[in-house]
Structure 1
Amino acid sequence: MMHIDQVHLNFNPQALLALNLVLALVMFGVALDLKLSDFKQALRTPKALAIGLLGHHVLFPAGTYLLILALNPLPSIALGMLLVSSCPAGHISNFFTHRAGGNAALSVSISTLSTVGAVFMMPINVAFWANQHEGMRAILRDFSLDPLSMLFEVALLLGVPLALGLTMSHRFPKMAARLLKPMRVFSLVVFGVFVSGALLANWKFFLAYGAMVVGIVFIHNACALASGYGLGKLTGLAERDCRAVAFETGIQNSGLGLVLIFNFFGALGGMAIVTAWWGIWHIFAGMALSTYWMKKPAQAAKAGA
């Protein structure tokens, strides 16, 4: 069996362009539902918002680096873990937070601001933490990664569709309202079909190398969810806010991570497989945790504490 980093996933340039467009479409659909009042509302609870963003942009990448030191995975797998931890929050976290009885408004605010912040924080986190590790530093050197190029790519993939969606929502609210539901359903269905197709096309690689990443992703994701919730508890947030912070820390936009791996790292096998598996696993983990919390309302949890 070949080394995991010699694996080249079945993903041609046309498919990569399609993935970029699909991701932009998803972000545009998300932005149609955003209003300036959402940001004003978020600022009314600055403590919870700041803690959520701190957990997402600082605690999780730093904790991931410590986990890499503890588990000592292959450098490419380690860099995939680091890239995932630096991604903005996945917007399915809003669904899980609502389902779990968490603070959905806080969840939306953290997701949105983490997406905006990721334009700058993602290249910074990847460059800083990867350069502290010899193996990851060698990969960055081999691929001549330029953080400014990554910043531009992330801004293009996230910033432009968000700006267009926010502009339409603000200037043409009736049109945005009409487009919101069909656009959201269409973009998510297209994204789901695309990911499913890519998974099926590369299924043999997941069967061959999945054992190398399944346990790592499980531990990594569990640590993310637990650290987000724990940070909320340690800082005295309400139970509903703690649940929101947990999902905002543990549910990542791994689709963006995959795009960057193909654009900047030549679809390096270890990075691609760990990121793709994360994108599958965090849905199962989010459903399981939100189901558990759904049966344990936040008010009851607080009363029993």
Structure 2
Amino acid sequence: MLDPMLVLGAASDLDTLSVDLPAGSSVVIKVVIAFFLFGIALEAKPSDFLGHLKRPWVLGVGVLGQFLVLPALTLLMAHLLDVPGSVALGMLLVACLPAGNLSNLLTHRARGDVALSVAMTTASNLVALVATPALFAFWASRYAPADALLARISLDPVAMAVEIGLLIGVPFAAGVYAGHRWPVLAARSRRFVDAAVLVLLLLVVVGSAASGAVEFLSWVDDLIWIVVLQNAMVLLVGWLFARGLRLPPAGTRAMVLELGIRNTGLGIVIAVAYFGEVGGAVLVMALWALWDVLSGLLLATFWRRRPLPVPVEEPA
């Protein structure tokens, strides 16, 4: 259960808090997301998919885990913690997001299976065009306080689907075309795109949180542990899936980071665009964006310092 003071105050404060990012922030975040998807598409080679199509259940289980298992467990967590409706909206939105290509960068740093990571990121982002708005509306309606807020703000899943389609589909298609048309240039620019995206994302998230648009810091103590708990649950699910699929250590690292690193930039745009009147959702998303990067870097650095076991060849 949440702190009683939060339960009493959040319904009247978090659920009615209006959050507006500084002028121009939403446009900058959309540009960052475009770079994210463009970067993913530059490395989305058919060979990556063909290799994993020999074991299609790995991609299938990974995508199903992201869009079905994570939201279901998040809904259960919201019920157990009895969180306010706006906080539940933020938690469920995170759970229904696709992976971000930050997971590809961190998988590389962790010495994981980058080809698997890229294939899963590409698949999850394509599925998200339809799955994210539809599943978010479905799971949020299963939590009464969140459903009441959705009715109040009149969420239009079709409009959300169109915005997600533009934010994901256009830059992804541009990246696929660039990678196919100019493969050498795309390969050389890949590292620059990845670094630029990471820096821009950190600047936008930190700048928005520190801008004074809302009393952000006053809610950190009440919300951060919820974010940490949900993130730990997501990472654990990724590890369990990897163990269940009997993935090698490199594949396990890729699966854990793929489920653990969400496209929080896309989530912030959606939260501000549709849930600015229920600030708890935006604050949860902003905290998730910060914690996601921090926890992912720590985990990837830990794994980087632990070399992968060398397979032992059996005698003929």
**TM-score w.r.t. structure 1 length?**
0.90
- Structure 2 unaligned spans of 5+: 1-8
Q: Distance in 1 between matches of 2:213 and 2:306?
A: 37
CA distance in 1, matches of 2:186, 2:254: 26
Equivalent residue for 2:142?
A: 132
Deviation at 1:133, TM superposition (A): 1.2
Instruction: Please report how far the alpha carbon of residue 141 of structure 1 lies from its aligned counterpart in structure 2 after TM superposition.
Output: 0.9
5+ long unaligned stretches in structure 1: none
Alpha-carbon distance in 1 for matches of 2:297, 2:193: 24
Cα distance, 1:40–1:223 mapped onto 2, change above 3 Å: same
Query: Could you give the per-residue CA deviations for residues 60-110 of structure 1, whole angstroms, max 9, x where no partner exists?
Result: 111111111111111100110000011111211122223333222111111
Q: Does 1:4 pair with 2:21?
A: no
* Equivalence for 1:74: 84
Cα distance change of structure 1 residues 131 and 240 upon mapping to structure 2, 3 Å threshold: same
CA distance 1:3–1:284, change in 2 (3 Å) = same
Q: CA 1:100 to 1:268, structure 2 compared with 1: closer, same or farther past 3 Å?
A: same
Would you say 1:230 and 2:245 are equivalent positions? no
Instruction: Tell me if the contact between 1:10 and 1:201 (Cα under 8 Å) persists in the aligned partners.
Output: no
After the TM superposition, which residues 212-291 of structure 1 pair with which residues of structure 2 at under 5 Å, given as runs?
212-266=222-276, 268-291=278-301
The answer for the alignment partner of 2:37 in structure 1 is 27
Partner of 2:43, secondary structure, is coil
Deviations 1:239-294 (A, max 9, x none): 32222211111110111111001111225210011111011112222222223333
2:125 paired residue number:
115
Letter paired with 1:90 = G
**CA–CA distance in 2 between the matches of 1:132 and 1:163?**
34
SS class of match (2:24): helix
Inter-CA distance 301–55: structure 2 relative to 1 (3 Å threshold): farther
Q: Give distance in 2, aligned partners of 1:107 and 1:9.
A: 34
**Structure 2 contact 19–279 (Cα < 8 Å) conserved:** yes
- Which one has the bigger helix percentage? 1
State how many pairs are aligned.
Answer: 302
Percent identity between the aligned chains?
36
RMSD of equivalent CA atoms: 2.3
In the alignment, is the contact (CA less than 8 A) between 1:87 and 1:257 conserved in 2? Answer: yes
3-state SS of the aligned residue for 1:90?
coil
Aligned to 2:68: 58
CA contact (8 A) 1:239 1:301 kept: no
- Aligned mates of 2:194, 2:207 — CA distance in 1: 20
> What's the CA shift string for 1:140-197, capped at 9, x where partnerless?
1111112121111111001110001101111232343354343443343333322222
